[in-house]
Amino acid sequence: MKFSGKNALVTGSSKGIGAGIALELGRQGANVAVNCHSGVDQAEAVAEEIRAAGGQAIVIAADVSDQAAVEGMVAQVVESFGSLDLFVSNAVYSDRELMISADMEGFKRTIDVSMWGAFFGVRAASQQMVKQGQGGAITVVSSPHANLAIPTAMAYNMSKAAIDHMARTAAIELVRYGIRVNVFHPGWIDTPGERKFFSEEQIDAGARSLPMGRMGTPEEMAKGVCFTLSDDAAYMTGSTMTMDGGVGLPWWSNREDGRQ
């Protein structure tokens, strides 16, 4: 039980990778605040699963692009659990359109949630951790989009590149307080969010074309994120952990294994 007695907040944890992280933290002994924007029923199902396994969990509905709401969410965690020891910035929003014809409302929403939401969360969480004076661990879930200029995803690409640098800067600013900040890069993961952009047929075909011949799972990503938060990673800060199934390997673009 690596996180026994620790109190955690995971943004965007009603489904997908965030839900996987919240559940794994709960399994490993943490008290978990499950955050959602609108999917309260889904978030409550995640919290109930944590409770059923013997842990404590609360649900907090808050829009991470709203700084006051994020600060209120951190205060609610402290009121419920007594402290905030672990924070995972995971909440995202994304539209897929070419930059020259993009609906600017969706473009701005992507940046507000994916970039500003991450910053507001890291700032509020670290302020609380500094106040407590007992260190802490923060992990920012980013993406290979931070490094890849993927077309139709400019706002998301921009946001992920920004939060990678944000997290590294936070790491050097917060190390004096015993607070570690790291970045996590998942690959193409089988989550409900992918159904916004692709049909099941496209997902099946795309998964077979990946280096490992399949998509990753939220449960796999959760174990990686939990490592970065744990004392096993006590000497790790300002680093990026990648679990992308080999997508970032240079040989993948010129595959000779016959996989189609």
Question: Which residues are within 8 A (CB) of 242 and not within 5 positions of it... i.e. 6 or more apart?
Answer: 144, 184, 185, 187, 248
C-beta of residue 33 within 8 angstroms of C-beta of residue 81: yes
Phi, psi of 216 (to 5 degrees): -80, 170
Catalytic residue among 93, 156, 177, 235: 156
- Alpha-carbon gap, residue 47 to 42, rounded angstroms: 9
Record the tokens describing residue 84, joined without a space: 């905030």
Q: Which residues of 109-141 are buried (b: 16+ CB within 10 A; e: fewer)?
A: bbbbbbbbbbbbbbbbbbebbbebeeebbbbbb
Q: Can 156 be counted among the known catalytic residues?
A: yes
Place of tokens 């690596």: 2
Angstrom distance (rounded) from CA 43 to CA 14 = 4
Give dist(CA 19, CA 31) in Å, integer. Answer: 14
Question: Catalytic residue positions?
Answer: 156
